[in-house]
Structure 1
C-alpha cells in the first residue's frame, strides 16, 4: 500500500535540524557504547599461561580471544612426558626447556673445565653450544665431555644455533598463543623463528679436561652445586612450575648419567620472590653455602638487581627467562648467561601478531621495570616501521606491587585513558598483576573482543 512521503520528509528535516543544533535526534535510542570500538587484548611471555585466567577470578572469560607471544619451541611429546614425571600436575611448559638447558649447559661446562670453579666454568659455556661434536642428551654429552671432546650441545630450547659472545641464544623460536574457553588453545599455536645464526660465537674455549676413572679428580671442588633463584612466590609465581620442572628433570638425568666430575650434582632450592629484597637474600644464602652456579632469576629486573652481588662473589648467574635486551651489554665480567632470547627478537614477533589484525589505534601497557618498558619500546619501534605511529600509539605504564601483601594495581585512570583514546588493540606487558588492567578496562566499559 502506497503512502504519502510528505510527513516522513518533514520529520526527517526536523530531526536533521535538531541534530545540527544539539547533536542528538529523538528518533533513535542507540547506546553510547555502540560507537566504542571493540578492543583486542594481546599478551606476552609473563601472562600467556593457562594459570593466568585464574587471576581474573569470576571474570576469567575476559581473556577469551586474547593473543600473545612467548619464547617457545615445538616441544617433543617425550620431553613433556618426562617433565610430567617430575610434576604430574604440570599444565604449562613456559621456559621449562630453557631451565632444563641452563642446567645441562652448566653441568657440561663444569665437566669440560675439570673443576667447579665458576670462572673456569664460565669460559666453557659458550663453547659447549658451538662448533664441536653434536650431542643432545645428558648421557651422550657427558660421555663426550668426560673424554675432553669439544661438543655442540643441542636440545629442546637450543635447536638452530648456539650462544653469542654475550652468552645468549643467537636464534630463537616464538609461539603465537591464543586463549579460548579460558585456556590456551594448542591447536591454534603457531611457531616462528627469529635471530641470526651467523651471530653465534666462534671463539674456541679452553681445551677440555679428560677425566680418567669414575672418581672426582683431586682439587676439582666437586660436587658441582647449583642454586635456584626462581619465582616460587610473587607476581611471576605462575611461571614457577614449568621452570622448576625443567631444572628438576635436568638434575635427575645428569645424575642418572653419572653426574659431573664423578659426583652427583647438588641442587639447593631458592626463591627470587619476584622481588629484589627476597632475591638478594637468597643470593647471599647461596654464596654462603658455596653455590657455584645460580639458576635464575625469573624476571629481568630481578636478574639486574642481584647481578652485582653475584659478580662480586665470583659466581655465575644463568637465567632461563630474563629477556631484557639490556642484559646483553651489562657489565657482568663474563659471568651472566641466559637461555632466554633477547626481547629485541620478541618485539618483532609480537608486533607481527598485532599487525595481522589490522589495528588502527594501539595502547601498549607495561609494568614499570626494565622488562616491561624495554619490550614496550621494541614493540613500538616495530609498529612505527609498519606505519602505525604518532597519535595512533599510546604508551602507558604502571607500578607493579612490591610483594604479595601490597594492594593490587590501580589502573582505573589508565583504563579511562584507553577508552577515550579509542584503542582497538591493547598489549599487556606484565606478569600476574596485569590481570588488574583487564579488570579495570572492563569496569571502565571498554568492550573487550572475544
Structure 2
C-alpha cells in the first residue's frame, strides 16, 4: 500500500516505533489483544432454537456450540400432532415430559376415583409401574375405568417407571449442535440413555376404584382441574411454546377418550414468569380456582420458591422440566413429582461431551440458583471422578436478572477472568439471560471454535 511521505507519514512511522510502549497515538487505539480459541458448551436451558433467536443478529456466535438436554427421540407422529395444534413450533424441548405429566395426573385421578390431591398423589408412582402396559391416553383410561392396575408409557417415559421419589428412574439425553444460523443442526443430534430401571418403585398403590356405569355421582369432586405454571414470560419464555402445546395435546387426547371420572378435564392457564413473585400469585389463583394438580414450574429455582405454598394448600406440583438434584429429597409431603430426570444424570452426560474434545482447562459458568449451581456441581463432580483436577477447572456464577425490568447480566469481568485463566472449553449453564455471557466472552476476544 502506498504511504504519504509528508508530515502524516512521519507521524505514522512514530506510532509504529512506539507501538509496544504507548497506548494511543493521535486517534489510534491500543493494539487489540490476540483472540483465544475455546469450545463452547451449553445445557438444557440454552440448547434449543429459541435461544439462538435471543441473540438476534449475533446468532452466529453459537456456531459449533454443543451440549445436552433431557430429550427422548420423539415419534414423528407425536411431533406432527403438536404442529397441527401450533404450526409455529421450532422446538420440542420438554414436550414429551409435559404431555406425560398431564396424562399421568388424569390417570391417577381416575384410578383414585377422586380429585382430592392426596388421593391422586398416592396413585402417581403406581401409574408408571407394575401393572398392565398401555401406551396411549385412551387405552390407559379405558383400563383405569375398569379398575385395572396399569403401567403407563408415553413420549418421554419409555423405559423405567418412577422411583419412590416421584421421578423417572431412567432418562434419555440428546447431544445437540448449533449451526452457523444459531439453530440446532438436527443431522448431528445423538441420543443416549441413562439411569437404571431397577430403581423404579416397587410399592403397591392403593387399590384402584372401578368407575360405576361410566358415570360418577360427583362425590369424587370432578371435574378434575389441572393448572398450568409454565413460563409464558421471563427468561424461560422461549421454552413455553412446546410445553404449552404438549399440555393442550394431552388435554385434547384425554377428553377425546371420555375425560377423567366421567367429565372432561379442565385446564386452567397460568404463568410462572420465571419469577418467584409471579409464580406465587399464579399458585394463589389456582388454589382459589379449585385446581388439584399444578403442572410446573419450569425452572427448578421457581419450584423451590413456590413449593411450600403448594404443599400448604395440599395441592400436587408436577414439573415436566425441573432437574435440580436436590428436589429428589425436598420436603414435599409426597406432593411433588417430575417427569424430567435429575441433574445427577445430566452431569455425567455433559462431562462426557466435554471430555471427548480433550480440553486442558475448563471454565463452567452458571446462573446463581439451585438449577445453575446444582448442575455446575454435578458436572464438576463427574470431572473429578475421571481425574480432572481442580487446577484444570474454574467455576464462575452470575446473578440472573430479577425480572424483565432489571438490567441485563454484566459478565465483562467474568469474561476477562476466563480469558486470563486460559480456558479452552467454556460450559454455560443458564436460560435466555446467558446470551449476555456469550456476548461478553466474544467482546473479550474469546473466539468460539467447533
TM-score by length of 2: 0.92
Identify the residue that residue 363 of structure 1 maps to in structure 2. Answer: 363
Give the Cα separation in 2 of the matches to 1:389 and 1:168: 32
How far 1:43 moved relative to its partner? Answer: 0.5
Instruction: Say whether the 8 Å CA contact 2:44–2:69 is kept in structure 1.
Output: yes
Q: How does 1:422-441 map to 2 (within 5 A)?
A: 422-441=422-441
Task: Tell me the residue number matched to 2:5.
Answer: none
Question: What CA distance in whole angstroms lies between the structure 1 residues aligned with 2:268 and 2:342?
Answer: 27
> Which residue is equivalent to 2:239?
239
CA distance in 2, matches of 1:186, 1:80: 14
1:93 and 2:61 matched? no
Partner of 1:47 in structure 2? 46
Q: Matched residues in 1 for 2:210 and 2:419: separation? A: 65
2:171 equivalent in structure 1: 172
Q: Which residue of 2 aligns with 1:120?
A: 119
CA distance in 1, matches of 2:330, 2:137: 31
Q: Give secondary structure in 1 for the equivalent of 2:37.
A: coil
Which residue is equivalent to 1:12? none
Aligned equivalent of 1:317 = 317
Instruction: Quote the residue 2:12 is aligned against.
Output: none
- Unmatched segments (≥5 aa) in structure 1: 1-21, 23-30
Equivalent residue, structure 1, for 2:37: 38
User: How many pairs align?
Assistant: 420
Q: What pairs with 1:219-298 in structure 2 (closer than 5 Å)?
A: 219-298=219-298
Does the 8 A contact of 2:121 with 2:334 survive in 1?
Answer: yes
**TM-score normalized with structure 1 length:** 0.92
Q: Distance in 1 between matches of 2:128 and 2:245?
A: 22
SS in 2 for 1:184: coil
* Residue 205 in structure 1 maps to residue 205 in structure 2: yes
**1:128 Cα shift?**
0.2
- Equivalence for 1:398: 398
Q: How far apart are residue 58 of structure 1 and its match?
A: 1.8
CA contact (8 A) 1:83 1:246 kept: yes
- Give the C-alpha shift of residue 176 in structure 1: 0.2
- The CA deviation at 1:51 is 1.3
- 1:264 alignment partner, SS class: coil
Q: Deviations over 1:15-65 (max 9, x none)?
A: xxxxxxx9xxxxxxxx8855x541111001100011111222221100000
Structure 1 residue aligned with 2:7: none
CA distance in 2, matches of 1:72, 1:202: 26
Q: Can you list the C-alpha shifts for 1:79-119, whole angstroms capped at 9, x where unaligned?
A: 00011111111010000000000000000000000010000
Q: Distance in 2 between matches of 1:54 and 1:211?
A: 49
2: CA distance, partners of 1:292 / 1:378: 33
The equivalent residue for 1:331 is: 331
Distance 1:301 1:410 in 2: 21
Separation (CA, whole Å) in 2 of partners of 1:238 and 1:387 = 37
Question: CA RMSD for the aligned pairs?
Answer: 1.1
Q: Helix, strand or coil for the counterpart of 2:318?
A: strand
**1:25 paired residue number:** none
Give the unaligned 5+ runs of structure 2.
1-20, 22-30
Query: Where in structure 2 are the equivalents of 1:352-391 lying within 5 Å?
Result: 352-391=352-391
Determine the C-alpha separation between the residues in 2 that align with 1:258 and 1:343.
37
Question: What residue number does 1:82 align with?
Answer: 81
1:234 Cα deviation from its structure 2 partner: 0.2
Match of 2:420 in 1: 420
Equivalent in the alignment of 2:162: 163
Q: Give the deviation of 1:428 after TM superposition.
A: 0.5
The CA distance in 1 between the partners of 2:336 and 2:366, in whole Å, is 25
How much does 1:217 deviate? Answer: 3.1
d(CA) in 2 for partners of 1:41, 1:163: 34
How far did 1:124 drift?
0.2
CA distance in 1, matches of 2:394, 2:229: 35
The answer as to whether partners of 1:99 and 1:243 remain within 8 angstroms in 2 is yes
Distance 1:252 1:169 in 2: 24
Residues 68 and 174 in structure 2, CA contact (< 8 A), matched pair in contact too: yes
- Distance in 1 separating the partners of 2:66 and 2:316: 35
